[in-house]
Structure 1
Amino acid sequence: MRLIVFTDLDGTLLDHASYSHAAAAPALAALAEREIPLILASSKTEAEITQLHTELGLGDWPIIVENGARSLRPGAPDADRSDYARLRAALGTLPEDLMVHYRGFGDMSHAEVAELTGLPLAAAGLARQRSFTEPGLWSGDAAGLEAFLAALGREGITARSGGRFLTLSFGGTKAQQMAGIMADLDRDTAIALGDAPNDVEMIETADYGVVIRNDHGKGIPPLAGEITGRILRSEAPGPQGWNASVLALLARLDRNGRAD
């Protein structure tokens, strides 16, 4: 068994309020000791994830950025980063009665993003360094949102709801990036962990999925794989739940065949 772990960040590996991963230290150490690749998969930008990737000592393992829009090697150049400019241009063509209810990161200052996310000002600046997607807040009603999404769809833009924001893109999901990464790293068994609706496809695609308890957002509804035990739910939220779940799965897989 050649194991690989894919994980969401905010509310999963990182604490919802403090953004700390300290509580996950034992499981992180266990993965490192076994040389099991840990793939960070988040709505965060490359600039944000690269800092954490370096802090965790993840070497040249790839990252999945901006809600699955791309998988990248940290620091490696990417051929085309024009999606964000295209997104902003498309938003500018929408009727005012739709646009007035959507406020994206491109409409906000560093200070506004910091206030919304709880990030320090410098980190909020990194969050605004978009290449592929536009997160934002919808303040209108359900009917207006339906019309907004329909107008975006005519421009080839999709929207996904995460823990805090409605994120717009030209496609790509965390799940879609998994197969390519597994092939590149010669891995045949995947664990995936997440806490929000935009993690569902990744969790369901993995051989073993973990729904991390979410006390601050929509969370994830019951999934089919939970009936068979292929998908688990953590008792604790955030990195505490992440830590316990990863250690439990490693022990479970060890009993059935070494996970490395």
Structure 2
Amino acid sequence: MSATSIGGQVTTCPPPYIVFTDLDGTLLDHHTYAWQPALPAIRRLQALNIPIIINTSKTAAEVLPIRHSLGLSSPFIVENGSALYIPKGFCDGSIENLAAINIRGDYYCLLFGANRDNIVQCIYNERAARDLKFSGYRDWDTETLMSHTGLDRISAEQSLARLYSEPIIWQDSEAAHRHFSDFITRKGLRILSGGRFEHIQGDTDKAKPMRFFREHIYRDEKIEFICLGDTENDIAMLEHADIALCIKSPVGPYPELSHKHVYYSQKCGPEGWQEAIDYILA
């Protein structure tokens, strides 16, 4: 590896990595949402000019303040791969010509998922028609969501500002769930299970926006993707990685992967995130 100057100091150039990370239960503690134990690893990656791209089930309204607190300026992916937000200064602007790109303030936004209003109408009409037992974001006020998640009021309000997905809690039988899953598939939608909720969304996942990076932003470069996640809804992202880092969950097993290059952390949440990045950069 060659030497380069970063911030006026000479350091060693790392391999061309990009880090994609889940938030809840991975970079953020499952119970407290703390990220501070991972700060040394975050700063180490930043010193090496390795982008950290959040890839989460959270909304854009939730991600923006988290991103600010972490000191990140890179793109981010929201609502389980439903939309990719790219800061205008991140690339050369050539993506403006893509038909699917929208401009939202200081970001290019590429939509991969479905409109939440259509999802909500679809699934709650089916709930009424079949007398299914589940509840979701449409049913809940801020206080109810706070009780389900442990989020503070501002964070809960940001979480309710969903555009592309509807998280639910299933309260019916397994047989009813199988019929509901078949219905969702027939409607061109998808169910992904996370740490707390099942997410009903368009036919996308966390890997689809990652492919956009390979095909459009880094098409002429050899970039290795490092991905960190902890639950089933991270599987597509982890399988698409060059190096998959599975973070131990305090509430469930590691996701089942067929990937050949996987590291399983022994610690949970941000402590596990720090452990995994230390392992890769050792």
Q: TM-score, normalised by structure 1?
A: 0.88
Which residue matches 2:143? 111
Distance (Å, rounded) in 1 between the aligned partners of 2:110 and 2:84 = 12
Cα shift at 1:58: 1.3
Cα shift at 1:101: 1.2
RMSD: 1.9
The equivalent position to 1:199 in structure 2, one of 213, 221, 234, is 234
Letter in 1 for 2:210: M
Distance (Å, rounded) in 1 between the aligned partners of 2:213 and 2:275 = 25
SS of equivalent residue, structure 2 residue 80: helix
How has the CA–CA distance of structure 1 residues 134 and 154 changed in structure 2, closer, same or farther, with 3 Å as cutoff? Answer: same
Say if 2:17 and 2:226, in contact at 8 Å, map to a contact too: yes
Distance (Å, rounded) in 2 between the aligned partners of 1:160 and 1:247 = 30
Say if 1:64 and 1:70, in contact at 8 Å, map to a contact too: yes
Say if 1:44 and 1:65, in contact at 8 Å, map to a contact too: yes
Q: Which runs of 5+ in 1 are unaligned?
A: 252-260
How has the CA–CA distance of structure 1 residues 204 and 79 changed in structure 2, closer, same or farther, with 3 Å as cutoff? Answer: closer
- Structure having the larger proportion of residues in helix: 1
Q: TM-score, normalised by structure 2?
A: 0.82
Cα shift at 1:115: 0.6
Cα shift at 1:219: 3.6
Which residue matches 2:217? 184
SS of equivalent residue, structure 1 residue 211: strand
Which residue matches 1:142? 174
Letter in 1 for 2:82: A
Letter in 2 for 1:115: S
Which residue matches 2:64? 50
Distance (Å, rounded) in 1 between the aligned partners of 2:122 and 2:128 = 13
Distance (Å, rounded) in 1 between the aligned partners of 2:143 and 2:172 = 23
Deviations for 1:79-127, whole angstroms, at most 9, x for unmatched residues?
8797011111112331526454121111111111111010001111100
From the CA coordinates, give the structure whose radius of gyration is larger. 2
Which residue matches 1:129? 161
Deviations for 1:180-201, whole angstroms, at most 9, x for unmatched residues?
1244255611100100011111
SS of equivalent residue, structure 1 residue 93: helix
The equivalent position to 2:54 in structure 1, one of 8, 25, 40, is 40
Which residue matches 1:170? 202
Q: Which runs of 5+ in 2 are unaligned?
A: 1-14, 88-104
Q: Identity of aligned pairs, percent?
A: 32
Q: Give the structure, 1 or 2, with the largest relative contact order (CA under 8 Å, sep 6 or more).
A: 1
Which residue matches 1:5? 19
Letter in 2 for 1:174: K
Which residue matches 1:73? 86
How has the CA–CA distance of structure 1 residues 77 and 102 changed in structure 2, closer, same or farther, with 3 Å as cutoff? Answer: farther
- Structure having the larger proportion of residues in strand: 2
Letter in 2 for 1:172: T
